Amino acid sequence: MFEHLLSVLARRDHVSEGERKLIEALPRRIRSFSNGEELVREGTRPNESCHLLSGFAARAQYLPDGKRQLSALHVPGDFVDIHAFLLKLMDHSVVAIGRCEAAFVPHASLLALVEAVPHIGRLFWLSTVIDAAIQRTWITSLGRRSPARHIAYLICELYARLDVIGLVRDNSFEFPATQTDIADMVGLSLVHVNRTIQELRTSGVVVWRNSLITVPDIDRLHDFAEFDPTYLNLIQEPR
């Protein structure tokens, strides 16, 4: 059930057999969501943490005029709102990008687990810290990267995060985001996103057909995007 979570944790630290069993034993309620459905709503006080089992979800904030900014993307194995465990009150919504499946774990169970095993508490803490590192990189992209490099950077990041959990096959991965979703992630107009993606396709760095993204040469895409994966912290260290 929690194999993607355990893969990600193991990529960054040693997880003991005992810790593994405790995580696998967490109680949970499974729910499926269709594209655009809210997993967690802004303004609410969840008493469960939402963990993504399959598909993608994005953190969203809305303006009164209906404009939306997606401030983070989550992949299987991510808790999308573990910070809500501490914040108590949600300042944003979490919305499904394509169909997804999530496990809702009671805060009480998470609290018991982190009190019993401080190392697991630190690993959950680490995940929120890495979420913040990813957001810093998104801010740099939103503020200073050219649209083509920004979108290329996003693809590089997704490729790396999905590769860790074994969801990249033949240099390809499924990404069911619409062009509107992408525009809301990169803070650009729909037409310019559409045009930029077409230019990326034409250049051959990316093949993007329906929801399947193929990167024929990942090093070439990294060079083009000026991608530096340091912020993803994919290093094994005692935490």
Residues that bind another protein (CB under 8 A): 146-147, 179, 188-192, 194-195, 198-199
C-beta of 124: minimal distance to another protein in Å? 38
Query: Contacts by 133-141 with C-beta closer than 8 Å and gap 24+?
Result: 133/231, 133/232, 133/233, 134/72, 134/231, 134/232, 135/71, 135/72, 136/231, 137/231, 138/71, 138/72, 138/185, 141/186
C-beta of 162: minimal distance to another protein in Å? 24
Determine the Cα–Cα distance for residues 134 and 228; give it in Å rounded to an integer. Answer: 12
The smaller minimum CB distance to another protein, of residues 34 and 210, is found at 210
C-beta of 159: minimal distance to another protein in Å? 22
Q: What is the helix (H) or strand (E) element at residue 140, kind and residue range?
A: helix 118-144
C-beta of 187: minimal distance to another protein in Å? 9
The smaller minimum CB distance to another protein, of residues 119 and 195, is found at 195
The smaller minimum CB distance to another protein, of residues 71 and 178, is found at 178
Determine the Cα–Cα distance for residues 208 and 206; give it in Å rounded to an integer. Answer: 6
Q: Which two tokens stand for residue 113?
A: 């687990």
C-beta of 219: minimal distance to another protein in Å? 25
The smaller minimum CB distance to another protein, of residues 14 and 192, is found at 192
The smaller minimum CB distance to another protein, of residues 140 and 189, is found at 189
Closest CA to 71 of 58, 62, 52: 58
